[in-house]
Structure formats: C-alpha cells, structure tokens
Chains A and B, each alone.
Chain A
Amino acid sequence: MKGKMFFKSLSITGLSVAAALTIGSLAFNSNALAGSARDYISVVGSSTVYPFSTVVAEQFGKTAGFKTPKIESTGTGGGMKLFCSGVGVQHPDIANASRRMKKSECEMCDKNGVTDILEVKIGYDGIVLANSKKSAPMNITRKELFLALAASVPEPGGAESVVPNPYKTWKDINPALPAVKIEILGPPPTSGTRDAFVELVMETGGSQFPWIKALEKSDKDKFKSICHTIREDGAYIEAGENDNLIVQKLDANPNAFGIFGFSFLDQNGDKIQGTPVEGIVPTFEAIADGKYSVSRPLYFYVKKAHVGVIPGMKEFLKEFSSDKAWGNDGYLSEKGLIPMPDDEKKAFNTDVQTLKSLSCGDL
C-alpha cells in the first residue's frame, strides 16, 4: 500500500513538473537562445585536419585564457556548407578543409552574405600505401596502382578501349611484382582521403595512357568514369573512416595493403611500412620537400566578419600560425603534419596578420 501511495504522488508531481518544464523550455528556446552570444570559437570541417586543429585548440584553451574552441569533424564538404550558411553566432567561424575551397562553395558563401574569407594553408598531408612489416616492401608506380584499382582498365592487348579489370594478382600487372592477390583496404567515397587519392594517384596513373589523357580534353565524363571508378569485385575493401582499424587489419593480414594519412604510418612505424611510390619512400622529409608525389595541402577558412565579435579569434589565428605550432619542429609536426616551406609559411603568416580576403575568382 505504501508503494502505491509513493507511485501515486510520484506520478502526479512528475506530470506537472514535466508540463511546466516543457512550456518553460519552449518559451526559453524561442527568444533567449536565438540571440545569445557565443563565447567560444566554433570550427567545423575535414576529418583530416581535425587531429591538427584540435591540438592547436587545446593549447590555445590552456594558455591563452579563452575558452577552448569547439571542433566538429563533419568532412570538408559538410563543413563548407555549414560555414557558408551565413554570418552570425549560430554559424561556425572557421572551416577546415583537406582540399582548396571550390568556386561553387565560394559563390554559395557569397550568396549567403559570407563575403570576406581568409584562406590559410597549414601544411601538407601525405597519403600512403602501406603493408605489414612482416612482408617485403613492394616498389610500385602510380600507373600500376591505377591498373590494380580501377574498375575498368585499358585492354591489355593495347587497343584503345576498356575492359573490366582482369588483374587478380600483382604479378598480372607487372611480372616484377610478387604473385600475391591484390587486396587493398581504403577509405569509402565519402572520405576526403579517397577524393585526394583518386585525384593524385588514379588520375595521374590513368593519364599515363596517352589515349586516356586525350580523353581528359575531349570527353571529360568518360575520363572521370575511367579514372574515378574503383573496382568493386573484392580487391578494394572499403574499411570505413577508421584508419586505426585498417592498421590492425594490415597487421593481421601481411598480404594486404592499406591507404591512409601519413600520421597513422608515423604513429605505427613498428607495425607497418610505407610502400615506395615511384621509388620514393613516404617519409616526413620526402613529403616535406615534395619528392613524394602523393601529398595534398590542408587549409582552413576564416569568416572575417566574426573576427572581433567572437572572443579569441585573432589570438587563435596567431597560435595556429606561430612557429611553435606549424614550424618545422612545432607541435603539429609531432602529430604528423608536414610543414610548409619557409617562404610559404611566411606568406600565409602575413595573410593572417593582414586578414587578406579571398576572392572567388582566384579559385
């Protein structure tokens, strides 16, 4: 009987409290939050830039006396959409990108009133092909990688037409390579790493066939369909966005190769090795001086209208562009970011100080 009374009073108070709260919160939401000021920096964008951006944010939050910036990993495209949706505290201040802003994105920004944008390049990221230390390294070219991964490849006889990819082992592509089944773990199409890999390896590899290169000018759609379509017969395994998982799988299967960002190779050097592409081993130095071909620049974009409105924007930019962050021995290089050459660093440092505006025409 006591339990009954308890539940009776509980249920009645519960219902009335909830009703009050619901009404209260709705009223509170519609007016109080819409215009509320934000006292922390909001960053969105690429999951590749995320590990670097977060380190700077953490340093900044601990030393500069401002709140720690909030960093969302939305992917480059998703981040640009949020960034370009308007000016005001409900929109993010900075967008990270693992490629340069597209002209279409800049125009979208323009349309929504985001007109003054500062572009900052932060450094380079290498994309590596790696396999387990337990097996031998394999020297490979981008053309061979294209032949191993494309859904349809030029007819082996030499005719100017494509056939579904017939290659099962590496030896089928080049007799000098081992007779091991082609097995490559890599990112899904939603990933920026995949976009960059397709552009840097597949397009370049495909273009080494003169007739495919000619297609780029004459029939761009066909060129794209040949170079951008990755085979789906099991040789290429989409391993999700989780690069740690790829590393673990490579460790378990010595015949498999994986595609991921350089920082994962840097952190797991005792388990996996980078595959030399065109004879160049992916090392920090080789990527930094541009010898290793499969690398891409990383950027972030700043909404200038928010500088001075959101507390700490200027100081955050200063922290990011300081030598102790993106310098050759800075803490970002410890996390696997490849620093820019000194003159480039200097140029972007001036851009940050003068808050130089980007114009869509330059993209």
Chain B
Amino acid sequence: MSETSNIDIVKKGLGKRYRAEKRFRIYGICAIASSLIFLAFLFISIGSNGYTAFQQTFIRLTVHFDPEILGDTTNRESIASANFPSIVKQSLSMMFPEVTSRSDKRLLNALISSGASYNVRDIVIENPNCIGKTMQVWVPADDDVDMLIKGHINREAQEGERRLNDKQLGWIEQLEKDGNLKKRFNMTFFTAGDSREPELAGIWGAVSGSFFTMIVTLVLSFPIGVAAAIYLEEFAKKNRWTDIIEVNINNLAAVPSIVFGLLGLAVFLNFFGMPRSAPLVGGLVMTLMTLPVIIIASRAALKSVPPSIREAALGVGASQVQMVFHHVLPLALPGMLTGAIIGMARALGETAPLLMIGMVAFIVDIPSGFTDPSTALPVQIFLWADSPERGFLEKTSAAIMVLLTFLIAMNALAVILRKKFEKRW
C-alpha cells in the first residue's frame, strides 16, 4: 500500500523534474551561445575594421635623382640633409605638367605622404650610384588618399565636406587609370615605429617595447615565483606566519593593476631613480603583478604531485632538496609553465600600470635595450584610438589583431605544454 503511494509521489513529481532539467540545459546553451555571439561580434568588428590596414595605397613616381637639386651627396650626413622633398615634388609635377599655379601645386603635393622623401632618401643611402639616374619608385600616398581608395571617405559627398577636393579627386582618378596608384602590402606597419601620419605608423616599436618588458618580467617573476612556491609548499612549517603570507599572496593576485603602477612610480622611479618610460621599470612592475599568479599556479602544480612520489624518494635515501629537485619539480613544472604563460599573457595586455611609469608616450625611435624609452602594444592601441586622423581607426583595429594573435599564441602554447607533459594520477 505504502509502496504504490511512494511510486505515485515519485511519478507525480517526475514530469516537473524532467522539465527543470530541460530548462537548466536550455539556460546553459543560451549562456554559451550568447558569449559566442559576443566573441564573434568582437572578432568580426575588429577584423572588418582592421583588415584594410594591412594594405596601403602607393603611388608610382618616376624619380630623376638630379644632382643639381640634391646638392652634396658624398657622405651619409650630407645625404640625410639633401633636398629630397624637392625631388619628389619635381617628379610629381612632371606627371601633371598642366598644374602650374602655386595653390594647385600644394594640393597636388598633398596627395603624397610627407614620408615619401625619406623613402627616396633611403634608396640613395642604399645605392649611391643612382645619383643622376632616373628610377621608378613606389611611395606611400597621403592618408586621406588611402582612406578614399579604401572607401572610408565618400567620393559622392559635397566638396566642402571631404578632405580631398574635386581637383584632387580628378588627379587620383587619372593616377588610377594610368596604373600609377595601387594598393600594396603594408610593410611599414610591421617595421616602423609610431608616427603621427597614419601611413607611416607601425607597431614594431611597440612590439619591441613589449618584448623587452616581457623578458624582464619572465626572467624575474618565473624563478622568484617558483622558488617561493617550492619553499612554501615543500619546506616551510605550517604556522601563523606562513598563513599570513599565503593570505597576502592571494590578496595580491586580486589587487587592481594600477596600484602596482603607483607602487612602481614610488619605488622604482622616485626612490631608486630609474629612468621613466623604460621597459626595465615596466618589466619590474609587471613582475610584481605576475608574481602572485605564478606562485599560486606553481603551488597548485606542486600540490597535485602525489605524496607517494615524495615518500618513495625519501625512502630510497634522497635528501629533502634532492627529493624536490629530482622528483617533484620536474613533474610539477608543466603546470608551473602554464601558470607562468597565462600570467605573462595577462601582463602583455596590461596598460594601466604603464601609465604611471611614463610608458604611455609618443616614441618614434625603435627601442634597442632595456633602458631606452618605449611603449608597449596595448599602449600603442590606446594612443592610436585617441588620434583624430581617420587612418588610425583601421590601424587601431589592426594593432588589436596583432595583440590578440600574440595572446592566442601564448595561450595555445600553454595548452600544448600541458597536453604534452602533464601527468595524471
């Protein structure tokens, strides 16, 4: 009697329980779908804005390296100050002989990037024999022309509302017709430092800055973090002091990054007198930020090594240090490396602490060492996003793509290391 009634109670509630289960699954799918949609939206909007930045509009000029205009070109210094802008202007007016008035010539010259004369100069520096000869040279077009060709400026707009007027449009159309205007791969973007002209700006300076910063961070934070983790996990006695240290490490991992920047400003710049804007200081600040992450990951990796390994090592007569370094550490290292890489990836994408130590700056020269002034990739993105020229809009997205590529590569490396070396018990 009582058995049937129990079954009845179960059966009565069964439909409700199935429905609850179904609902929960739907919630889960919705959550995943919506985050995928956000991610796809992010990638599509960045990709569609940024892919055009990998191409650049170039104009073909027939340059006559006239020694009379250039003047003295016998050594490197005199080449640097030779009159290359005139050479470029002359070849442009040879292409459009009908343009004679001063104001029209100014408009015509505005089609070519102000960096064109440096391109021509580099040719002479590389090959001094070309003086007196005539050559075909592809030089970058001005950013307004580039934006027009890429369709970011509306050709149909009223003349006063475009940054290029009808005359300039006519010249551009003629250049296009003669095949003297082409989109080519934008090498400058990967080799140049920052610039205020979008067509001359590149990310190499920022990438090198990030590289030096990351080297300092890795070299300091990984060994210190691993050593701290080993000591705390394997050697330290369990008492109040180690408890306090443990709580503090966990707290530090959650401290907002700007606080580390302020700390860096107070300690490294003001107290130690290190240079502003240097990757060395950036790396030190990032080290402080990444240390807790690495310590926590390393301790977790050490904890996951089964006690039987330790006991076996001690049982055959290994000392404590031998046990750790010969047996436990090699088994825990893949987990530690994963933690370190993820910590480094976080540090690579960080701007806030760099703001305080002067790495948010306009720096053209490519840094060549740890104390040269430099920026970092995310800082470059921030600076470009704030520039009024429309050409920087696509550069911003392209730089984000480069940064994302680095981050994805680092995370992939972490996954591969874990898959390859991790042991499960």
Asked if residues B371 and A55 are in contact (CB atoms below 8 Å), the reply is: no
**A57 surroundings in chain B (CB, below 8 A):** 362, 364
In the complex the two chains form, is A73's CB within 8 Å of B360's CB? yes
6 tightest Cβ-Cβ pairs between the two chains A and B: A18-B223, A68-B364, A71-B362, A34-B273, A72-B361, A7-B330
Asked whether any CB of chain B lies closer than 8 Å to the CB of A54, the reply is yes
- Cβ of A44: which chain B residues have Cβ within 8 Å of it? 358
Q: Is A241 an interface residue (CB 8 A)?
A: yes
Q: Which of A281-332 contact B (CB under 8 A)?
A: 329, 331
Measured CB to CB, the residues of A under 8 A from B are: 3-5, 7-8, 10-12, 14-15, 17-19, 21-22, 25, 29-30, 33-34, 36, 38, 40, 42, 44, 47, 50-51, 53-55, 57-58, 61-63, 65, 67-68, 70-73, 90, 133, 241-244, 261, 263-264, 266-270, 329, 331, 335-336
Given that A71-B362, A268-B390 are known contacts, is A21 also in contact with B272, CB under 8 Å in the complex? no
Q: Is the CB of A72 within 8 A of B224?
A: no
Highest count of chain A CB atoms <10 Å: which of B196, B197, B269, B365: B196
Q: Tell me the total A-B contact number using a CB cutoff of 8 A.
A: 142
A sample of 12 more A-B contacts (CB under 8 A), given A29-B274, A331-B114, is A3-B421, A7-B333, A22-B224, A33-B275, A33-B371, A61-B364, A61-B365, A68-B363, A70-B373, A73-B362, A243-B386, A261-B388
B388 touches A266 (CB 8 A): yes
A42 to B358, CA, bound (A): 10
Chain B residues with CB under 8 A of A54: 196, 362
Which residues from B are CB-within-8-Å of A242?
385-386
B157: chain A residues at CB < 8 Å are 270
CA distance A34 to B268 in the complex (A): 11
> Counting CB contacts under 8 A, is B219 at the interface?
yes
- Which chain B residues border A14 with CB–CB below 8 Å? 222-223, 226
Q: A14-B222, A33-B275, A269-B161 are in contact. Are A68 and B365 (CB under 8 A)?
A: yes
16 A-B contacts, Cβ less than 8 Å apart?
A: A5-B330, A7-B333, A8-B329, A8-B330, A14-B223, A18-B224, A44-B358, A57-B364, A68-B363, A90-B269, A90-B276, A244-B393, A267-B163, A267-B390, A270-B162, A329-B106
The digit string for B324-338, where 1 denotes a CB below 8 A from any CB of A, is: 011001110110000
Which residues does chain B contribute within 8 Å of A51, judged by CB atoms? 196, 387-388
Q: How far is the CA of A155 from the CA of B351 in the complex (A)?
A: 46
A42 proximity list for chain B (CB < 8 A):
276, 373
Pick from B77, B81, B330, B390 the residue with the most CB of A within 10 Å: B330
B154 interface hit (Cβ, 8 Å): yes
- State which of A5, A70, A133 has its C-beta within 8 Å of the C-beta of B362: A70
Within the complex, the shortest CB–CB distance from B199 to chain A, in Å, comes to 13
Q: Which residues of A contact B385 (CB under 8 A)?
A: 242, 244
Whether the Cβ atoms of B227 and A15 lie closer than 8 Å is: yes
CB–CB B329/A11 < 8 A: yes
